[in-house]
Amino acid sequence: MNYSLRNKFDCNQGAIRAVRYNIDGNYCLSCGADRKVKLINPESGLMIKSYTAHGDEVNDATGSCDSSFILSGSKDKSIIYWDVITGMPIRRIRTHVGGITCVSFNDDSSVAISGSRDNSVQCFDIRSRSLEPIQTLKEAKDCITDLIVTDNKIISSSLDGTIRYYDIRVGELTSDKIGIPIVAMAITSDNQCILASCQDESIRLTDLDGGEILTEYKGHIGSKDYRIECGVLKGDGYVISGSKFGEVIVYDFLEANIVKRLQIGSGNTISSLCVHPSNDQMLFASGREVQVWSLNDSDE
C-alpha cells in the first residue's frame, strides 16, 4: 500500500467540485466553481479543452462510453450534453426545479440520467431532439446525492437516508433504508455491494441484492461544506474515503481497519475523488488543486 504522489496541478477554476476519469482513464474532467468543465491530461496536467456554458457552479460531469461526449450538471438547474472535440453544447436541458447534484450515462450513453436537489431523478433520450424526460423518478424525500447506473439498474442515494434501486427491465423499485443521510456512493467491481458514505462519518457496505449492511468503515472526518466521496480500489481489496484536513483514508475491505492515511495538499477537505478504471491510480481534488496518486511499481 505504498502510494505516492505522481502529479499535481491547479485547474485554475476556483474550488473543484468534482473530478472524474473518462472511460479508459487517459483523461479526466474537473468541475469548478468558475462554471466550467475542463478536460485534462492527468499525466502532464495539460488542460486540453474548456467547456463554458453553465450559469453557475458545475457539480458533476461524466464522459460517454466512446469519450466523444460529456454530460455535466450544474447548480443552475441544467444539464448540458457537450461535443468533446468542438467544445460546443449539443443539448441544454432544464427540466429540474433544483440544482443538479449528479449525472450519469447508461452503458451505451444513449440515456442521460440526472439527480437534483428537487428530490428527483430524471432520464433523457439524449440522442433525440426532445428536451423532456422519458422518465422521472420522484420517490426520494430529500436531495438526490449520487447515482450509479448498471446494465439493468439505476441506483440513487438521498439525504433521506435511503438507497433506491430501480430495476429498469421489470419496472420494480427496491429501497434500502440506511436511516442516516447518504452523501455519496460507490459500487464494487463485481456489482454485488454498494458503499454508502453517510453524514455520521461512516461508510456502510450493503449487499446489493439483499440490502443488509455487511460492515462499516469509520475513521475519516466529515465536513458540512463538502460531500465526502468514497471508492473501491482495483480488485476490491481496499476502500478509500476523503476526509477533512486533507487526508485520504484507506481501509481494508474485509477487516474494515485503517491501513493507510495519505496526506493530500495543504490540509483542505478532500472535495472529490475518483479511482482509475483499470489500474492502481487515483485522483483527489482539494481546494483548487487536483493530485494524481499511484501505487509504487514495487508494490504492484
Q: With bands split at pLDDT 50, 70 and 90, how would you rate the model's confidence at 298? A: very low
Q: Is the pLDDT of residue 300 over 70?
A: no
> Which residue in the block uniquely carries the three cell numbers 431532439?
129
* Per-position DSSP letters for 56-79, written without gaps between them: S-EEEEEE-TTSSEEEEEETTS-E
Q: Tell me, what amino acid is at 190?
A: D
Q: What is the pLDDT of residues 203-223, one digit of tens each?
A: 999 999 888 999 999 999 988
Three-state DSSP class for 299?
helix
Q: With bands split at pLDDT 50, 70 and 90, how would you rate the model's confidence at 240? A: very high
Instruction: List domains and CATH numbers for the chain.
Output: 3-299 (2.130.10.10)
Q: What's 213's DSSP letter?
A: E
Dihedral (C-alpha) 140, 104, 27, 6: value to the nearest 10 degrees?
20
- Give the separation between CA 115 and CA 167, rounded to whole angstroms: 17
What is the reported pLDDT for 297?
57
Q: What is the pLDDT of residues 144-191, one digit of tens each?
A: 999 999 988 999 999 999 999 999 888 899 999 999 999 999 999 999
Residue range 248-274: average pLDDT? 91
Q: Which residue has the higher pLDDT, 3 or 144?
A: 144
Q: Tell me, what amino acid is at 122?
A: Q
Three-state DSSP class for 232?
strand
pTM of the predicted model, to two decimals? 0.94
Q: Tell me, what amino acid is at 206?
A: T
- Give the separation between CA 244 and CA 122, rounded to whole angstroms: 32
Question: Average per-residue pLDDT in the chain?
Answer: 94
Q: With bands split at pLDDT 50, 70 and 90, how would you rate the model's confidence at 124? A: very high
